[in-house]
Chains A and B, each alone.
Chain A
Amino acid sequence: MSSLDPTLSELFLAFWRLDNPNVVWVLLGSVLLGASASVIGSFTFLRRRALMGDALAHAALPGVMSAFLLFQTRDPFVMLLGAVTSSFLGYYLIEYLTQHTKIRQDSALAIVLSFFFALGIFQLSLIQQMEIEGKSGLDKILFGQSAAMMPEDIQVLAISAVFILVLVYLSFYKFRLITLDRQYAQTLGVNVKAYDLVLALAIVLSVVIGLQMVGVVLMAAVLLIPVSAARYWSHDLRKILFLCAIFGALAGILSTNISYMAPKMPTGPWMVTVLAGIFLVSLVFAPARGLLPRYLMHRAQAQRVNDENVIRSLYVLGERKNDPKALFEPSSILTVRNMSKEALFKSFKRLIKANDVENRGGTYRLTPNGYEKGAKLTRHHRLWEMYLTEKVNIAPDHVHRDAEKVEHIMTDEMGERLAEELGNPLTDPHGKNIPGGQH
């Protein structure tokens, strides 16, 4: 294998020297395609039609075949026109089926997808028996092979992609409005139908220009995966679109690079694999919404609740003995608090480190610091019990469980306002002291 490595790195360098005009064209095309499809895909995603791209990509096929049959040329512009027309027909057929018949949206997508594609294959099988020049590469558009693309193909692609990006930039507010709240858009006097049409054309166009590079089956992924990934990083649509463009462009660069280094490798599948990688990283690591940060936050929360529970148990035990400095066995904490021994010792470890609890030869007690915290938690707990009995008229034997939860989230300010509201009570409904209630 090692004899292969230098060739690969040489190829890598040759690619990045960018002195091959063909490479530059393909690279430019894939970057623009990735960016435009990803950006436009956000709008279909937000309309909860994430798989629209899949249906439209398949729906383009009969248009390509018809255009070829009619004009007997493979001129990229003619092909594009055919593809856009039939894909657009597919779009409106989906709309019609969902709005004017009993058929539901998911079925409408699948019907248009399979029927149009079958129609295309039917035509292709007819074309293959005919004596027409240039028919040989027609089936290539099904699977996406950028190596098979001519510079003219890429020119058409690049112009369309730039057109889409500029269109989205200029009509951003309108597109956002009709995507997120159509009725509101209507009341504002936006011509919803016209913008719908423009957006539909942009969607169709961005799907269609990708077919040759990415392939029919995988085109859906280029529309869908970037926005799914970007959503973990932001809720602001402008930032999401920007991230989408970056993700799409990055996938374009990497997949072109890979298919340059291994010429047999199709571009489309690598683009999808790269995008899936980006998605996975976002899913796991994105701050605040990623799985890992969410898990860590959850764990920190659970630990804090456990620690506060241990502090409060020690406080209540000390109160019962009328001796805040009394030492307690771990087992006596477990009799008043339903938690595992393991969790208790883990909690002790953290509490000792934070100087809330001290260990005296296997028995434990609160430090003055911890005692203060215990008093405050208990105060909040009992104030809440008081509030529930006095103001909400809940029986005193039903309020403890709720207070167990509220004590962990109540702030000092809330506690004081509650005390004020209740007329600074000194005891809770069970007749126990409310600590710190003298003032």
Chain B
Amino acid sequence: MMAHELWILAIAALTSISCAIVGVLLVLRRMAMLGDAISHSVLLGLVVAFLLTESRSITIMLAGAALTGLATAWLTQVLNQYGKLQEDASMGIIFTLFFAVAVILISLYTGQVDLDQECVLYGEIAFAPFDTIIMGDSDIGPRTFWVLAIVTLLNLMFLWIGYYRLKAMTFNASFAASIGIQVGLWNYALMALVATTTAASFEAVGVILVVALIVIPANTAFLLARSLHGMLIYAIGFGVLSSITGYYLARYFDASISASVAVMAGVFLALVLVAKKAKIRVDRKTVTS
């Protein structure tokens, strides 16, 4: 039973690390809602990939997700540019349409698609450890764990390779373009990464926890940090902390683990906000007295 618990914690921690990395980049560029949009539209990619190939292999799933993520970002930009529609509205149209079509496809092919909207919205991490990969004769651990490990690695590599470019783009896009950074390319790479990260976390933790883990720890970090790497470290820290405390909260109440983790992330954000407000008040008092 100990192993079971460890696997869940490991899966939750890996999810929070990947989500924190993309989250920081999205939040700083005022694109937090894109996390929500892509995480919903990715469902269409998963359904179509599954209907076309009838396989649930990790590569196909992630490729399908990455492609839909790119399609969402690209179509949003096209509507924004050629349709002269404000950006958030363009995004809203594309992702709701993608999600709607996905749900329609699921109900058309019920029984064939091993994805249902309920699991997508609030996936159940508690069952993740039972779906294991057998290599040779030995059980090497849950499928979700390995998928998320790969994606976390992908995220870290992306950050490692592109750190200075991403930093320049995030804080001053025109400067970045002027020194020869391919802003468009890196932008789409980030979108693909958001999509892969959400898709990987999908079955285990559900869309909502993904959105929560992308946005909430990154914003908690935004309130505290003074540099990009500081913000990344804070975000990862709060993400992992929410995972652990959330897990025990869920165990205590016997509630949904994903939801509890997201709730804890919110609680930490609230605590930091209150602490900051209190500190400002104290500072003001010491200045005036």
Contacts of A291 in B (CB 8 A): 82-83
Q: A269–B92 contact, CB under 8 A?
A: no
Q: How far is the CB of A43 from chain B (nearest CB, A)?
A: 13
User: Is residue A265 within 8 Å, beta carbon to beta carbon, of the partner chain?
Assistant: yes
Do residues B104 and A264 form an inter-chain contact, with CB atoms below 8 A? no
Report which of A49, A102, A273 forms a contact with B97, defined as CB distance below 8 A: A273
Contact (Cβ within 8 A) B215 A45: no
Q: Are B27 and A268 in contact (CB under 8 A)?
A: no
Query: Is there an interface contact between B82 and A103, defined as CB atoms closer than 8 Å?
Result: no
A108 to chain B, nearest CB (A): 8
List chain A residues, Cβ under 8 A from B276.
Answer: 101
Please indicate the chain B residues that have their CB under 8 angstroms from the CB of A121 in the complex.
121-122, 208, 256, 258-259
Residues of A near B86 (CB, < 8 A) are 45, 48, 50
> Judging by beta carbons under 8 Å apart, are A143 and B92 in contact?
no
* Shortest distance from the beta carbon of A313 to any chain B beta carbon, whole Å: 33
Do A118 and B258 touch (CB < 8 A)?
yes
List B79-104 residues whose CB lies under 8 Å from chain A: 79, 82-86, 88-89, 91-93, 96-97, 99-101, 103-104
Interface assignment of B112: CB less than 8 Å from any CB of chain A: no
Stretch from A13-21, A221-229, A387-395, A396-404 that touches the partner: A221-229
Q: Taking the nearest CB of chain A, how far is it from the CB of B223, in angstroms?
A: 6
The one of A109, A115, A269 in contact with B101, judged by C-beta atoms closer than 8 angstroms, is A269
Sorting the interface of chain B by its residue count into under 10, 10 to 19, 20 to 34 or 35 or more gives 35 or more
Q: Is B273 in contact with chain A by the CB < 8 A criterion?
A: yes
Interface SS majority for chain B? helix
- Asked whether A103 lies within 8 Å of B219 as measured between CB atoms, the reply is yes
Contact of B262 among A115, A221, A269 (CB under 8 A): A115
A334 at interface, CB cutoff 8 A = no
Q: Contacts A143-B103, A224-B89 hold; do A118 and B97 have CB atoms under 8 A apart?
A: no
A276 vs B44: C-alpha distance when bound (angstroms): 16
Q: Which residue of B lies closest to A117 (CB)?
A: B208
User: Is A102 a contact partner of B223 (Cβ separation < 8 A)?
Assistant: yes
Q: In whole angstroms, how far apart are the Cα atoms of A128 and B82 in the complex?
A: 48
* Complexed CA–CA distance, A163 and B216 (Å): 36
Bound together, the chains give a CA A350 to CA B17 distance in angstroms of 64
- Counting chain B CB atoms within 10 Å of each CB, the highest count among A120, A217, A228, A273 belongs to A217
Complex: A266 Cα to B116 Cα, angstroms: 13
**A193 close to chain B: CB less than 8 A:** no
Give every chain A residue within 8 A of B36 (Cβ-Cβ).
51, 54, 110, 113-114
The answer to whether the Cβ of A126 comes within 8 Å of any Cβ in the partner chain is yes
Cα A107 to Cα B222 in complex, Å, equals 11
Q: Are B83 and A283 touching (Cβ within 8 A)?
A: yes
CB neighbours of B84 from chain A (8 A) = 289
B253 within 8 A of A: yes
Q: Is B170 an interface residue (CB 8 A)?
A: no
Q: How many residues of A contact B (CB 8 A)?
A: 54
The closest CB in chain B to the CB of A101 belongs to: B273
Q: Which residues of B contact A51 (CB under 8 A)?
A: 33, 36, 88-89, 91-92
Contact between B88 and A48, CB atoms less than 8 A apart: yes
Enumerate chain A residues within 8 angstroms of B263, measured Cβ to Cβ: 115, 118-119, 122
B211 touches A272 (CB 8 A): no
Task: Check if B32 is an interface residue, CB within 8 A of chain A.
Answer: yes
A95–B165 alpha-carbon span in the complex (Å) = 33
Which A residues between 167 and 197 are near B, CB-CB below 8 angstroms?
Answer: none
Residues of A within 8 A of B97 (CB): 221, 272-273, 276
- Docked Cα-Cα span, A58 to B27, in Å, equals 20
Could you tell me the distance in whole angstroms from the C-beta of A63 to the nearest C-beta in chain B? 15
Known: A217-B96, A283-B83. A266 touches B103 (CB 8 A): yes
CB distance from B267 to the nearest CB of A (A): 9
Distance between Cα atoms of A51 and B34 in the complex (Å): 11
A125 adjacent to B259 (CB under 8 Å): yes
Q: Tell me whether B212 and A50 are in contact (CB under 8 A).
A: no
Q: B33 contacts which chain A residues (CB < 8 A)?
A: 51, 54, 106, 109-110
Scoring B residues 252 to 279 as 1 if CB is less than 8 Å from chain A, else 0, what string do you get?
A: 0111101111110110010001001000
Cβ–Cβ contact B212 & A276, under 8 A? no
- Which residues of B are found within 8 Å of A111, using beta-carbon distances? 32, 215-216, 219, 266, 269
A136 proximal to B (CB < 8 A): no
CB within 8 Å for A114 and B103 given contacts A119-B259, A291-B83: no
| Bound CA span A279–B96, Å | 13
> Hey, which bits of chain B sit against chain A, CB under 8 A?
27, 30-33, 35-36, 40, 79, 82-86, 88-89, 91-93, 96-97, 99-101, 103-104, 107, 110, 117-118, 121-122, 208-209, 211-212, 214-216, 218-219, 222-223, 253-256, 258-263, 265-266, 269, 273, 276
Listed by A's residue number, 29 A-B pairs whose Cβ atoms lie within 8 Å are A50-B92, A51-B33, A51-B36, A101-B273, A106-B30, A107-B27, A110-B32, A110-B35, A111-B269, A114-B212, A115-B262, A115-B266, A118-B209, A118-B212, A118-B260, A118-B262, A121-B259, A122-B253, A126-B254, A217-B40, A220-B96, A221-B100, A224-B89, A231-B85, A264-B110, A266-B103, A269-B100, A272-B100, A291-B82
Nearest first, the 6 closest Cβ-Cβ pairs linking A and B are A118-B262, A221-B96, A114-B212, A269-B100, A125-B256, A115-B266
Additional 16 contacts, C-beta under 8 A, given A221-B92, A270-B100: A48-B86, A110-B33, A111-B215, A114-B212, A114-B262, A115-B216, A115-B265, A118-B259, A129-B254, A142-B117, A218-B96, A218-B100, A228-B85, A228-B93, A268-B103, A269-B101
